[in-house]
Amino acid sequence: MKAVKMKIFLLLSIGYIILILVTGAISFVQSAVLTSLLSHENTQEIETGEGFTGEYTDDLPIFKEIKGRSQITDEVAQLAVGVGVKYKLLPSVVISQWAYESEWGKSYTAKNDSNFFGVTWFLGCPFPKGSPRGVNGSEGGYYMKFDNQKQSFSYYGFMLATQTNFNAVVGNKDPKQSLLILGKGGYAAAGISVNSPYYLDCMSIITKNKLTDYDDFAIKHWSTDNNGSANTGNINSLQKVVGQSLNGGECYGLTAYYVSQLGGPKLMGSGNSFAERIGEDYDWEKYGWKVIMYPKANEIKKGDVINWEHGGQLSPGIYGHTGVVSSVSNGGNQFTTYEQNAEKGRICAEYSRTFTMTKIRSLVRKVK
């Protein structure tokens, strides 16, 4: 009897040990799979980077009167100025990054991929996969492969102007600030800070070659209103109150202030509170305004009240978000706004936005 019990005990013990081993193996496999998935996810992040918004086109305005200097050819200078004019960027920064990233156009990826700005390939991008990033692929992912130098310049400008981590450079007239904005947005793996080689070299390139001359030319050609402007919308009233808190600091309060300055309906105290529904909650026609529901990019005009739907990047809550368009460029795919209760706090401040950041529910425009 004791022998039988002993056998049963041994069998149970062996079974228990096997159970522990199997459980451990399963945990190990699960851990390995999870690690693999995370590694794949990280690899994808390196390859895909930030998604792009708006619509990309190769075309750039070319000014033949622009000439190169030193190692900068006429073509490079003209492309940089074209990028600067089209996307409201500084040609000095464009050329400095071209020189730094492509070794003055002589790097392997510049010659092999026509990629002069170290732009990373990602799934869904409009260009094929090029060379591996880094020495022998040490950085992971790949560069984009462009057909020619013009494509590389144009896409670089598009990327800076439409990606939310970079687009604060749009309209910025200071090369130093622009480089630091790009650094903060993660443009270079090594980083771009005041004391970094990247920043110091780019600023040296700008200074030695007097590249701000190109900036002066481009800025004169910046279009603050490519799509025209609303007939009687006047944003001067908001320019005067930048930095101030209006009607309690909510986004709704800023739009209410602006509308009141133009003789529109009274928004504050109306009982309505959903910013996304501003276009629908009032009898705008009675006051000489019109509403455009779910507008296309090319319908946005300077002076428009812009109302975003809830649940997007700009309006994660249930109320949506609202502001006033202060300038429009690139066919409405880029624009600046006055908003309140956004990234800069509960004050009237100016922002750079792109058409597809968050779905636009309506535009409200004064027409009489």
CATH of domain 74-221: 1.10.530.10
Least confident of 20-24, 159-163, 237-241, 332-336: 20-24
CB 344 within 8 A of CB 338: no
- Using one digit for the tens of pLDDT, what is the confidence trace for 43-62? 223 222 232 234 678 888 89
Strand partners, 142: 132
Tell me what pLDDT residue 155 has.
95
CATH of domain 236-366: 3.90.1720.60
Residue 114 CB contacts under 8 Å (≥ 6 apart), including other chains? 145, 146, 147, 148, 149, 151, 152
What's the number of CA atoms in the CB half-sphere (13 Å) around residue 137? 8
CB 114 within 8 A of CB 148: yes
Q: Please state, in angstroms and as integers, the Cα–Cα distance from residue 191 to each residue in 131, 198, 204, 311, 328, following that order.
A: 22, 8, 17, 32, 31
pLDDT at 245 over 50: yes
CB 68 within 8 A of CB 141: no
Domain with CATH 3.90.1720.60 in the chain: 236-366
Domain with CATH 1.10.530.10 in the chain: 74-221
* Radius of gyration of the chain measured on its C-alpha atoms: 27
More confident residue, 368 or 344: 344
Q: How far is CA 162 from the centre of its chain?
A: 4
Q: What is the mean pLDDT of residues 99-125?
A: 95
- Using one digit for the tens of pLDDT, what is the confidence trace for 341-367? 999 999 999 999 999 999 999 999 998
- Using one digit for the tens of pLDDT, what is the confidence trace for 168-221? 898 899 999 999 999 988 898 778 999 999 999 999 999 999 999 999 999 988
Measured distance CA(128)–CA(151) in Å, rounded = 13
Structure tokens at 153: 């310049």
Tell me what pLDDT residue 196 has.
94
